[in-house]
Structure 1
C-alpha cells in the first residue's frame, strides 16, 4: 500500500520521489525561474568550449531536458501571440490599436484598484488616529499620498485607454461599437492562446513532481557529450588571480590572507573543512630503536606505492555503502577525480580527451609532482541530494614521507521557491487550473513579455553550434547550477551539523584504514596515531564556519594593528 502523505505535503521516507529531490527541485526551477532557465541553456548546454563541472547530488541531463521543454512551450506560446499582433498590423491596424488599448485598460484598471484599496485603508487609519488622538509616523502620511498619486495616474491611464478605440474608429470611419467588439474578441483569442500555452506549461511542470525522472532515451550530440563529460574523472579548476599588490590596501590583503574559501573542487560546493597543513608521517620502520640514526630507522625505499594505499582507503569507505540498511550511508559513491589547473592545460593535451585506464590513474597517484592531481572522492547525498557532503583525499609519498591532504565540501538546499509543488495540494489538477487562470488574469504582463522572443534566435543558434563535434577546450568548467542555487552556508545553520556528522564519519574511517595499512606494511604508526587523535579531538575547531578571526594582532615586518571598525564587515 502506498505511503500516506503528510498534512503539509512533504514526502515520507521511502517515497521514490524523495530519492531525486534535488533533481526534481532544479527541474521545477527551470519552469518557475526564467533567469535560471537561461543559465542552464546558455551557460551550460550552449557552451561546448568548457567542461561541465561534476554533478553532486543531482542529475544534470533531466534539468537540461526540462529547461528546453519549458523554453519551447513558452516560446511557441509567445510566437503565436506575436503572430496574431503582426497579422493585425498587416491587415487591420485599427483593430491592433484597439487591442492594445483594451490590454492597457485591463492593466491600468487592475493597478488603480490595487492602489485605491491601499489608499482607502491608509486613509481610514489616518482618520482613526486623528479621532483617537494617536501619534502617526511621518512615513504613513508619505505612503498615503504616494498611493493616492498612483491611483490618479492609473485612472488617467484607464481614461486614455477607454477613449482610444472610439477615436481610432472615428479616424477610419468605423462604428466605435464594432471596433470595441472586434478588440474584445481578439483579446479573447490571445487569452485562449495564453491559456493553452499555460496548460501545457503546467502539465509539464507537474510531470516533474508526479512522473519518473528517467534519463531521455535519445539526445543530441551535445547531450551525449555532456553525459560523457559527467562520466569522466577530469576536472579543470582556475587558480585565483591576485590583483597587483599596489592596488590593494593593507585591510584587503589581510582579509584575502584569512580567506580559506577558495576551492579547486569545482561543483562540490563550499569548502567547509580541510587539514591545514596536511597530515604528514615519516616512513619509519616499525619497532625501530630511537637511539639509532634517522637514516637507519627510516625506509629508504617506501614499503608501498601511493596507489596501493588509495585503493585500500577506497575499499574501506565503500564498505559503508554495502552494509545493511540500518548502518550504511545511502547513496555513497567513491571514485577517482583528476584535477588540473586551467593554466597548465593550455597546450591541450591529447590524453585529456580519452578515458584514463587504471594504470594511468595509478601513475598519476604515484607522481606527486605532476600537473594533474589525484583525489579520492567520497560523496554522500542527503535528503535526496538536497544536502551533499563530499570528501576529497590526496595521498602522496615524497621525501620519505607520507602526506594526506584532506578536504570536505558541502552543498546546501536548493531555493525554497523551487519546492512549491511539495506544499499540500500544489501538485493537484485543481492547483494546475488555478495557475492557468492566474496566467490568463495577467494577460497584459504576458503580452509585455513578447520582447523575450528577441533572444530566441540567439538561443537556437547557440544550440545548433553546440551540436557540432568540437572537443571542449581544457578550460575551467561552465556554470555549476547546483552551486549557484545552493542556500548560503551562513544561512544553513540547521543543516551544518548534519553535513559535519557525515564528514566526521568518513574522516575517522579514512584515518583508521590508513593506520591499519601502515601497520600492515611495517611502518611506525605512533606519530600518525598522535596526529590523527589531534585531528579527531580538534575537529570542532577545524569544522567551524570556515573563518579565522585575528584580533589585536599584527602580521609581517612593520605591521600595525588595525581598529576592528576599519575592517569591512566589522562595523
Structure 2
C-alpha cells in the first residue's frame, strides 16, 4: 500500500480558481451552521478517520478551511452577545426581561420542531410574542415613572435629559444583541461576495488552523482509490443508488461444445477478471477517446479504480489470519504502521489481486464517472449559439466482475450525486449587487432569524467550545482498542447536496448516461465471452429482461399493465376499456 497519489491529483487540489462545486460548499460553511458542524466533525473529529472520495470537482481542503473561518466568525458573534447578556443581567437592567418577553418566543418559532410541530404550541408562542410586544411599552413606562419619582428633585431640564439618556440606553441594550447578529450577517454576505465570487481563488481561508498532518492527509486521501466506508454504503460520496442489476453466466457451457449430462465435470473456460476489466475499460474509454466529432464525444467520462473496504477493523479477526503480529502499533495491512492512518492508494498489483479475489474483504469495482456538464453549442461558422452549462449532477457506474464456481458474475451499480443545495448558489448572485445591494440582501434574509441568532448565542457558544476542546485534546490511540472505526461515515459533497435532482433534465441525463454505460458494458462482456467460445445465450436473455424493466415512463396517459424492477409481473384481464 502507499500513501501517495498521482501528480495529477496534486495539480487538481492546487489549481485556482475554485471549481463551482467547491465554491458552493465553501459558501455553505457560512450559510448553514449545521452543515459546518457536521463537516468539521467528520473531517477533524477523529485524526485517524479515513476520507470519503471526492466527486464532481469537490476539493475538501478549501471547504474545511472556510468552515474553520466561519466557525471563528460565529464564535466572535456569540461571544459578544453572551458577554453582553451576562453584563446586563448582573447590572439589573430591564433588557433581559424584554428579551424573554419579545425575542425568546420569536426565536423559538424559528425552530424546525416548532414550525412543523403541533399548532397549539405555535399559537401559544405567537400569543406570548404579541403579549410581550404589547406589554413592553408599559414596562418601559413604569421604569420611567420610577426614575421620575427617584429624581424628582432635579431641575426640569436635567430630569428630561437624564430620562431621555436612560431610555435610549435601555433601547440600545435591548436591541444590541440583535444589532450584533445583524452586523455578523452583513459581514458574512460581504465576505461571500468577495472571497467566493465566480472565478475567485477562495479568499483568506483559515488553512493555518488545520492540524498540518491532517490537512496534508485529507488533501491527498480524497483522490485515492481505497474507500474505507464506516456505514453500510460502499459507495460513500457517490450519491444515492439510481439503478443496479447483476447477471450470471456459466463458464463451462461453451457455444459449440457438448453440454449434455456427463459423469465428469465439463471443461470450463478460464477467464481472468483483471483481463476482462481491462477489455471493458478499453471499450468504455472509446466513448471518449475514439470519437472524432466533439459533439458526439462523452468528454466528461473518467474511469478509475474503486476498492471498497469496510472501515471497522477488529484486531481479533486480524490476529487469526496474520502470520506476524506486532501489537505495539497498527498492524492491519490497510493501516500505515508508521502513522497509524489508513492507506488511501493501492498500487496496480494490489488492484489486480483484489479483482481476482472476489470473496475477499477488499472488493474491487471499476468506477466510471460522467459529469453532466453541457458543452457550448456553436454554429458551423463558429458563432456561439448556447454557452456551456453545469448541470451539477455526477453519474457514477460501479462495475464488479467476479469469477467463482465456474460462473462469471457481473454486477452493475449506478449512483447519482444530486446538485448542491440551491441556497448555497447565492455566491453567484451577490457580486453583481454592489455593496448597498449586498447589505440590503443581508437585511432582508436575516429578518426571520435575528431573534434566534441573538437568543441562542449562549447555547451555540457552549457547544462550539465543547467541540473545540474535544478536537484539541489528545486523540485516542486506535492501537489500544480491539475494534476501531476507521471508515468514513459521511461525504462533504453529499452533506451539501439536494435531496434529489431539482430539474427534470437532470433526471433524464442520469438515465441517459446510465443506459449508455450499461449497454457498452453489456456488449463488451458479450464480445469477450464470444471470443472465449462461452455460450452467451443466458447472458443475452438476462440482459434483455433488464433492458425491458429499465424503461422510463413519464407524462401523458399509458393504457395497459406496467411492471418494472426485480421479479416484476403485470397482467391485464378483460378488454382494457
- The two structures have a TM-score, normalised by structure 1, of 0.69
**For residue 279 of structure 2, what is the aligned residue in structure 1?**
312
**For residue 179 of structure 1, what is the aligned residue in structure 2?**
166
* Kept in 2: contact 1:41–1:459 (CA 8 A): no
**For residue 59 of structure 2, what is the aligned residue in structure 1?**
59
**For residue 26 of structure 1, what is the aligned residue in structure 2?**
25
Q: Distance in 2 between matches of 1:546 and 1:201?
A: 49
Matches within 5 A, 1:448-527: 448-451=455-458, 452-465=460-473, 473-489=484-500, 495-527=506-538
* Kept in 2: contact 1:44–1:478 (CA 8 A): no
Does residue 359 (structure 1) correspond to residue 342 (structure 2)? The answer is no
Does residue 271 (structure 1) correspond to residue 241 (structure 2)? The answer is yes
Q: Distance in 1 between matches of 2:502 and 2:53?
A: 24
Does residue 229 (structure 1) correspond to residue 229 (structure 2)? The answer is no
Q: What is the Cα deviation at residue 363 of structure 1?
A: 0.9
Q: Distance in 1 between matches of 2:370 and 2:144?
A: 64
Relative to 1, partners in 2 of residues 1:457 and 1:414: Cα closer, same or farther, differing over 3 Å?
A: same
* Kept in 2: contact 1:285–1:522 (CA 8 A): yes
Q: Distance in 2 between matches of 1:156 and 1:231?
A: 60
* Kept in 2: contact 1:47–1:466 (CA 8 A): no
Q: What is the Cα deviation at residue 209 of structure 1?
A: 3.4
Q: Distance in 2 between matches of 1:462 and 1:518?
A: 56
Instruction: Determine which of 115, 129, 134 is the counterpart of 1:155.
Output: 134
Q: Helix, strand or coil for the counterpart of 2:296?
A: coil
Q: What is the Cα deviation at residue 501 of structure 1?
A: 0.9
Relative to 1, partners in 2 of residues 1:190 and 1:538: Cα closer, same or farther, differing over 3 Å?
A: closer
* Kept in 1: contact 2:370–2:394 (CA 8 A): yes
* Kept in 2: contact 1:56–1:381 (CA 8 A): no
Relative to 1, partners in 2 of residues 1:36 and 1:170: Cα closer, same or farther, differing over 3 Å?
A: farther
**For residue 71 of structure 2, what is the aligned residue in structure 1?**
71
* Kept in 1: contact 2:35–2:495 (CA 8 A): no
Relative to 1, partners in 2 of residues 1:392 and 1:434: Cα closer, same or farther, differing over 3 Å?
A: same
**For residue 339 of structure 1, what is the aligned residue in structure 2?**
308
**For residue 140 of structure 1, what is the aligned residue in structure 2?**
none
Q: Distance in 2 between matches of 1:542 and 1:504?
A: 15
> What's the CA shift string for 1:378-410, capped at 9, x where partnerless?
122325473121111111112222211111112
Q: Distance in 1 between matches of 2:494 and 2:217?
A: 21
Q: Distance in 2 between matches of 1:542 and 1:473?
A: 46
Relative to 1, partners in 2 of residues 1:41 and 1:144: Cα closer, same or farther, differing over 3 Å?
A: closer
Q: What is the Cα deviation at residue 18 of structure 1?
A: 12
Q: Distance in 1 between matches of 2:364 and 2:489?
A: 21
Q: Helix, strand or coil for the counterpart of 1:299?
A: coil
Q: Distance in 1 between matches of 2:64 and 2:97?
A: 39
> What's the CA shift string for 1:114-149, capped at 9, x where partnerless?
xxxxxxxxxxxxxxxxxxxxxxxxxxxxx9999788
**For residue 203 of structure 1, what is the aligned residue in structure 2?**
190
* Kept in 2: contact 1:395–1:403 (CA 8 A): yes
* Kept in 1: contact 2:46–2:475 (CA 8 A): no
Q: What is the Cα deviation at residue 208 of structure 1?
A: 2.1
* Kept in 2: contact 1:283–1:402 (CA 8 A): no
Q: What is the Cα deviation at residue 505 of structure 1?
A: 0.8
Structure 1 unaligned regions, length at least 5? 1-15, 112-142, 241-262, 554-571
Relative to 1, partners in 2 of residues 1:343 and 1:225: Cα closer, same or farther, differing over 3 Å?
A: closer
**For residue 567 of structure 1, what is the aligned residue in structure 2?**
none
Q: What is the Cα deviation at residue 264 of structure 1?
A: 3.4
Q: What is the Cα deviation at residue 286 of structure 1?
A: 5.6
**For residue 447 of structure 1, what is the aligned residue in structure 2?**
454
Q: Helix, strand or coil for the counterpart of 2:394?
A: strand
* Kept in 1: contact 2:419–2:501 (CA 8 A): no
Q: Helix, strand or coil for the counterpart of 1:461?
A: helix
* Kept in 2: contact 1:61–1:223 (CA 8 A): yes
Structure 2 unaligned regions, length at least 5? 1-14, 108-121, 153-158, 319-330, 336-341, 374-389, 555-561, 572-577
> What's the CA shift string for 1:327-362, capped at 9, x where partnerless?
233433211111223566554723343332211111
**For residue 369 of structure 1, what is the aligned residue in structure 2?**
359
Q: Distance in 2 between matches of 1:162 and 1:101?
A: 14
* Kept in 1: contact 2:20–2:198 (CA 8 A): no
* Kept in 1: contact 2:549–2:564 (CA 8 A): no
Q: Distance in 2 between matches of 1:505 and 1:454?
A: 52
Q: What is the Cα deviation at residue 307 of structure 1?
A: 0.9
Relative to 1, partners in 2 of residues 1:29 and 1:351: Cα closer, same or farther, differing over 3 Å?
A: closer
**For residue 41 of structure 1, what is the aligned residue in structure 2?**
40
* Kept in 1: contact 2:102–2:129 (CA 8 A): no
**For residue 116 of structure 1, what is the aligned residue in structure 2?**
none
Q: Distance in 1 between matches of 2:259 and 2:414?
A: 36
* Kept in 1: contact 2:178–2:453 (CA 8 A): no
Q: Helix, strand or coil for the counterpart of 2:494?
A: helix
Matches within 5 A, 1:426-437: 428-437=434-443
Q: What is the Cα deviation at residue 534 of structure 1?
A: 3.8
Q: Helix, strand or coil for the counterpart of 1:231?
A: coil
Q: Distance in 2 between matches of 1:486 and 1:226?
A: 20
Larger CA deviation: 383-392 vs 320-329: 320-329
| Pairs aligned (count) | 478
* Kept in 2: contact 1:101–1:165 (CA 8 A): no
Relative to 1, partners in 2 of residues 1:280 and 1:209: Cα closer, same or farther, differing over 3 Å?
A: farther
Q: Distance in 2 between matches of 1:105 and 1:149?
A: 7
Q: What is the Cα deviation at residue 26 of structure 1?
A: 2.5
> What's the CA shift string for 1:181-222, capped at 9, x where partnerless?
444566787777556533431122223233435697875322
* Kept in 2: contact 1:379–1:391 (CA 8 A): yes
Q: What is the Cα deviation at residue 364 of structure 1?
A: 1.1
> What's the CA shift string for 1:267-287, capped at 9, x where partnerless?
2222221114x3334254564
Q: Distance in 2 between matches of 1:165 and 1:450?
A: 30
